[in-house]
Amino acid sequence: MTVVRVKDRDGAERDVEAMNGAPLMETLRDAGFGIDGTCGGAMSCGTCHVYIDAAWAPRLPARSADEAAMLEALADFVELRPSSRLSCQIPVDDTLDGLTVEVAPQV
């Protein structure tokens, strides 16, 4: 079981059980955190933007060039941080148990 701690846009935190084998975006979307995931993980909508806890960020797979480009496109609308990620590009498995993320502002 993989449990992720999520800080929502109002600053409230709660733990959710994440779906192993699926992108983190799907867990956040289905758990009602206001993540739309409009493009279904094609890196073209930016609605799945999250801030990864600084301690966890280096443990995740590196951003692809396409993910980095989508994040840069968001910079005119929301704060980008070094730990900004598209949650659709984070595959969940047991190694992410305890991961802490913050849902970024809506675009």
User: Closest distance between ligand FES and the C-beta of residue 65, in Å?
Assistant: 14
Residue 11 C-beta: closest distance to ligand FES, Å: 23
> For residues 91 and 19, what is the distance between their CA atoms, to the nearest angstrom?
9
Is the CB of 55 or the CB of 105 nearer to ligand FES?
Answer: 105
C-alpha 35/C-alpha 27 separation (Å) is: 9
Site residues (CB under 6 A) for ligand FES?
25, 37-39, 41, 43-48, 70, 86, 88
Closer of 70 and 92 to ligand FES (Cβ):
70
Compute how many other C-beta atoms are within 10 angstroms of the C-beta atom of residue 84.
21
Tell me the closest approach of the beta carbon of residue 36 to ligand FES, in angstroms: 8
Dihedral sign for Cα 107, 46, 51, 98, please.
positive
Nearer to ligand FES, 43 or 92 (CB): 43
Phi, psi of 15 (to 5 degrees): -90, 140
Q: Of 44 and 95, which CB lies nearer to ligand FES in the complex structure?
A: 44
Three-state SS at 68: helix
